[in-house]
Amino acid sequence: MVVNGGCFHNLIIPYNNHVDLTNYPNMAGKAVLICRPNSHPFVDRTLSLEQPVKIGRSVARARAAQSNGIFDCKVLSRNHALIWYTNGKFYLQDTKSSNGTFINNQRLSKSGEESLPREVSSGDIVQFGVDVLENARKVTHGCIVANLKLYLPDGKEAKASPSSSVLSGVGSVSMEELYQLNQHIQEALQREQMLQTKLASLQQLVQSLRQSVDLGWKALIAEDRLLSRVEILENQLQTFSKNITEDTLRDELRNLQEDKSVYQGLAKECLQKVLQEKLDVVQKCQDIERALLNTETECANFKEVMERDHEELKELAQKHNSQLLKTVELQSKLQNTEEQNKDALARLEAENEELSNEVKRLLANEAVMHEKIQQLEASGEIVGRQLLGIQSQLQFNNHISSHKERNGSTEDVISKNNDEVMEEDTEKDVTNTMGLLINQLTEESINEQKKTKEVVDLIGSQFSLLQEKMSKLKQINALEAELEANEDKLSKYKEENRKLEQSLCSLEQIAEEESNKMDTTIIETTPLQLSCPERLTNGPPPSNKESLQSQIEELKESISESRSKMEAMERTIDLLQEDLCNAKQDLSEITKTWLLQEEKLQEAQNLKEETEMSVNTLQEQLKSIDNSILHLQHQEKFELESEHISKHKEESTLLRKQLQEAQQMAKQSKNEATMVKEKFRALSEELEKVKATMERSNMNTATETPLDNRAAQELAAVRLEAASLHSQVLALESQIRKLKLESSQRQQELAENNDEGTTSSMSNEDIIQQLRLRVREMEEELVLVKEKYMAFNEKNIQLEKELTNLKQDYEAVVHQPYFNVVFVLPLLVLFIAMTIAFHPTLARLMGTSDSSLPNS
C-alpha cells in the first residue's frame, strides 16, 4: 500500500510462488512511479525493467501509458532519462535533458550534458524537469515529481536509501518537506517576477497619465487666460462705446478708489493669515518628520530583534536535530543490547536445564553403582566362604593320605601316588580358578572405585557451577529490585508527560482559535531502526568453569558501568534543569522587551492622533481662504499634486507676465473697475466651491485615519500573537529536549537492567514504546506550531506593508491643503495687482499711471 497525497493505492507485487529464483538470474525487477501532490498530474506507472526503460515526452510515435515512462508534459525532453536493473541494483541516468533530472532534490548533471549512472533506492523522490513560466500566456507548466518504489525479481521491495531512512527517523525535517519548501520558494520567486512586471507596467501608465494631465492642465490655463482676455476686451469695447462725461468719470474713480482701498485691506489681512498659518504648518510638518524618523528607527530596531530571534530559532532547530540523532543512536544501541541480553538469557537457561539433566543422570548412575557395589560385596563374601570350605576339605584329604601311607601296601602306595597326582592337579586347578576370581574381583573393585571417584568429581564440579549460578541468580534478583525502582521513576516521568500533554492541548486550542483559516499538515514519522556494536559476548559451553567465571566478571563490570551511567544521567538532569531556568529567564526578558516596544508603538500612535487633530484644526482654518480649486480636484488625483509643487515656479513666472500685461491693460483703459468687480464675483463663487471640496477632502481624511488606527491595532495584535507563539515554540522545544533526554536515560537504564528477567523487559519495552509515541506526538505538534508561527509572520509582514501604504496616503492627504494654498496664492496676487493698478499713488510710484487722464 502506497500513500499518494492523502489517497491510498494498493500495489500488488507478484511473488515467486515458491520458485527458486537463483536459477533465473536474468529476471527483471520492477519500478513504480507514484504521483506526488506538487507534480504535473499523471497516472501511476509500473515499469518492467527487463531492458532499460526510456523516460521522456509524449510524441506521435510514443504515447503515454501505464506500462511505459512516457509523460504528457511539456517540460520533459523526448529522450529525458533512462532507468534499468542489473546485478541486483537499480540505476537512473540523465540523457542530455534540457531541464535536468533530480534524485532527492539533487541534480544529476548540467543542462545538455549526459550524467553518470546513479544508483537509486526504494522510497527516493524523483523529479524530471523543473516548473517553467510561460510569459506570453502567463501560465506555469509543472514538472514530473514522483515517489519511486523498487521491487526485486522475487517480489520483495528493494532497500531504502540511508539518507531518507535517517532523515525520516529523525522526524524533524524530511526530504519531502525540504523539497516542498524548494517548490514554494520557486513559486514565490515566479510570483515576485510577475509582480515586478505588473509594477513596471503600472508605473508606465502612471507616467503617461501624469503627462496627459499636465498637458490638460496647461490647456485649461491657456483657455482660462484667453477667456479672461476676451472678457477684458469686451468690457473695453463697451466702455469705449459709451459717451461718459468728466463728472461721471470722477464719481466712478472715487468709487473704484474706495473699493480698491477696501479690497487692499482685505487682501493684506488674508496674506497675513496665510503667512502665519504657513509658518505654523511648516513647524508642525517638521515635528511630524521628526516623529516619523523616530518611528522608523524603532521599526529598524524591531526588525533587528526579529532577525536575532529567527537566528536563535535556527540554532535551536540545529541543536534539536543533533539531539534527535543522539537519541536515534542510543535507541539503536538499546535494541542491540536487548537482543544480546535475550540471547544470553536463553543460553543460560538452556545451560541450566542441561546441567540439571546431567545432575539427575549422574545421581541415577550413582544409585546404580551403589547397588552394584553392594552386589559385589555380597558375592565376595560368598566366594570367601567357599574358599574356606575348599581349604578345610584339602586339609582333611591330606590328613587321610598321610594315615594311609602309614598302614597300606605298595599297591596302595602306587594307588596313593596316582591319587596324589590327581589331587595335586585338582588343587592347582582350584588355586588357579581362585586366583582368577580374586584378580577379577580386585580389578572390578578398582575400576568401580575409579568410576565412583570420577562421578564424585563431576558432581562436585557441577555443584560448584550450580553454586555460581545461584549467586548469579541472586545478582539478577538484586537487579530486578533496581528495575522496580526505575519503574517507579518512570511512573513519575509519565505523570510529568501527562502534564505536558495537557499544556500542549491547551496551546493547540489557542492556536486553532487564532488561525482557523490555516491548513495543517501532519508529518508522519517512521519508527527508528539503526544498529550499534555489541556489549556482551557469547559464553563458551557450560562445561568450562573458567569461561563461566569470566562471564560473571563481565556481568559485574556491566553492572558497575550501569551504575556510573545512572550517576551521569542524574548529573545531566540537573544541568538540563539549570538550562530550563535560564531559558525561562531569557523568555521573561524577551517578553519585557516586547512590552516596552508595544508601549513605544502606543506612544507613536498617540503622537499620530495629536498630529491628526492639529491637521483637522488647520483644515478648518483654511476653509475660509481656499478659492477656485473645485474643477482641479475633479480632474486631478492625489498622486499629481507632488508634481504641481515642482511646477509652482513656472506658474509664478507666468503670473508675473500676466501682471505686466494687466498693468499695460490698465494704462490703455480706465473702465477696468467693472471687470474687477465681475472678477471678484467669480472669485467668490470659486471660493465657495473650494470650501465644498475641502469639506469632502476632510471627510476622506477622517475616513482614512480610523483605517490607520485599525491597521496599527491589527499590527500590534499580530506582533503579540507572534511573540506568544515564539515563546510557545521555545517552551515546547525545551520540553521536548527534556523528554528526549529523560527517555534516552530511561532506555539506557532499561538496556543495562534488561538481563535480569524477560517479564520486566516486556513491561519496559511497552514503556519505551509509549515514550516514543509521545515524543513523536510532541514533534508533530512542534511542527504545527512552527507552521502557524510562519503564517503569523507572513500576516505581520502584510499588515506592515498595508500600514506603510496608509501612511503614504495619509501624508498625501495632509499635504493637500498646502497645495491648495499654493494654487490660491497666484489668484490673490493677481487680485492685488489689479487693485494696485487703479491706486493713484502706487501707480505713480510704480510708473503705471495713465498719462491720458485729465488733471483734476
pLDDT in tens, 211-263: 999 999 899 999 988 998 898 888 888 877 777 778 888 888 888 889 888 98
Domain ranges of the chain: 2-18+25-167
CB 101 within 8 A of CB 127: yes
pLDDT digits (tens, 9 = 90+) for 422-431: 555 655 555 5
Closest CA to 221 of 641, 634, 654: 654
On the CB side of 235, CA atoms within 13 Å amount to: 20
542 Cβ contact list (under 8 Å, min separation 6): 351, 354, 355, 465, 548
Query: Concatenated DSSP letters for 654-669?
Result: HHHHHHHHHHHHHHH-
DSSP symbols for 740-783 = HHHHHHHHHHHHHHGGG-HHHHHHHHHHHHHHHHHHHHHHHHHH
Three-state DSSP at 487 gives: helix
pLDDT digits (tens, 9 = 90+) for 645-684: 656 656 656 656 655 665 565 455 455 555 655 655 665 5
Best CA proximity match to 125, nearest among 159, 176, 187: 176
Find, among 40, 374, 788, 657, the residue nearest to 780 by Cα: 788
Distance CA 183, CA 172 (A): 19
User: What is residue 314's three-state secondary structure?
Assistant: helix
Banded pLDDT at 536 (limits 50, 70, 90):
very low
Give the three cell numbers for residue 201.
507596467
Q: Which three cell numbers stand for residue 679?
A: 472678477
- Look up residue 488 and give its three cell numbers: 517507579
| C-alpha to C-alpha distance for 106 and 116, rounded to whole angstroms | 13
669: left (phi over 0), alpha (psi -120 to 50) or beta: beta
Question: Do residues 85 and 28 touch, judged by C-beta distance below 8 A?
Answer: yes
- For residue 365 the three cell numbers come to 548412575
769 burial (CB, 10 Å; 0-12 / 13-18 / 19+) is exposed
At 96 the three-state DSSP class reads: coil
Please give the share of the chain, as a percent, with pLDDT higher than 70. Answer: 49
Contacts of 635 (CB under 8 A, 6+ apart): 213, 216, 217
State pLDDT tens for residues 812-828. 766 666 666 676 777 77
Mean pLDDT, rounded, for 295-305 = 88
User: What's the rounded Cα separation, in Å, for the pair 129 and 146?
Assistant: 12
Q: What is the pLDDT of residue 725?
A: 65
Regarding predicted confidence, which is higher, 101 or 484?
A: 101
* Cell numbers representing residue 790 in the block: 510562519
Phi, psi of 151 (to 5 degrees): -130, 135
Q: Residue 47's closest CA among 60, 34, 62, 57?
A: 34
Angle, alpha carbons 850-854-855 (nearest 5°): 105
Least confident of 79-93, 109-123, 776-790: 776-790
320-345 tens-digit pLDDT: 888 888 888 888 888 888 888 888 78
The DSSP secondary-structure symbol of 670 reads: S
Angle at alpha carbon of residue 607, lines to 601 and 610, rounded to 5°: 145
Q: How far is CA 477 from CA 472, 482, 483, 508, in A?
A: 9, 9, 10, 45
Residue closest to 543 by CA, chosen among 347, 351, 345: 351
Strand partners, 35: 146
* 733 pLDDT higher than 70: no
- Name the phi and psi angles at 125, rounded to 5: -100, 120
Looking at the predicted structure, is the pLDDT value of residue 558 above 70? no
Q: Which residues contact 713 (CB under 8 A, 6 or more apart)?
A: none
pLDDT at 428: 59
The pTM for the full model equals 0.25
Domain formed by 2-18+25-167, architecture: Sandwich (2.60)
Contact of 772 with 739, CB cutoff 8 Å: no
pLDDT at 367: 82
Name, of 97-106, 174-183, 421-430, 723-732, the range with top average pLDDT: 97-106
Residue 5, Cβ density class (10 Å: 0-12 exposed, 13-18 middle, ≥19 buried): exposed
Strand pairing report for 7-9 and 2-4: antiparallel
Give the separation between CA 751 and CA 336, rounded to whole angstroms: 9
Residue 528 confidence (pLDDT) above 50: no
Task: Indicate the helix (H) or strand (E) that contains 140.
Answer: strand 139-141
3-state secondary structure of 538: coil
Closest alpha carbon to 505 in 812, 728, 711: 728
Residue 553, burial from CB neighbour count under 10 angstroms (0-12, 13-18, 19+): exposed
- Average pLDDT over the chain, rounded to an integer: 71
pLDDT at 21: 36
Helix ranges restricted to H, 155-245: 162-170, 175-241
What's the rounded mean pLDDT across residues 73-97? 92
Q: Which three cell numbers stand for residue 248?
A: 461721471
**Could you give the CA distance from residue 242 to residue 261 in angstroms, rounded to a whole number?**
27
Per the model's pLDDT, the better-predicted residue between 456 and 365 turns out to be: 365
On whether the CB atoms of residues 767 and 591 are closer than 8 A, the answer is no
- At 93 the pLDDT is 94
| Short-list 658, 630, 633, 628, CA closest to 644 | 633
| Cell numbers 537463483: residue | 22
Residue 623 has pLDDT above 70, yes or no: no
Structural Rg of the chain based on CA atoms: 56
Helix (H) or strand (E) holding 172: none
**What is the helix (H) or strand (E) element at residue 171, kind and residue range?**
none
Within 544-647, residue ranges assigned H as helices are 545-622, 630-635, 641-646
Three cell numbers at 677? 468687480
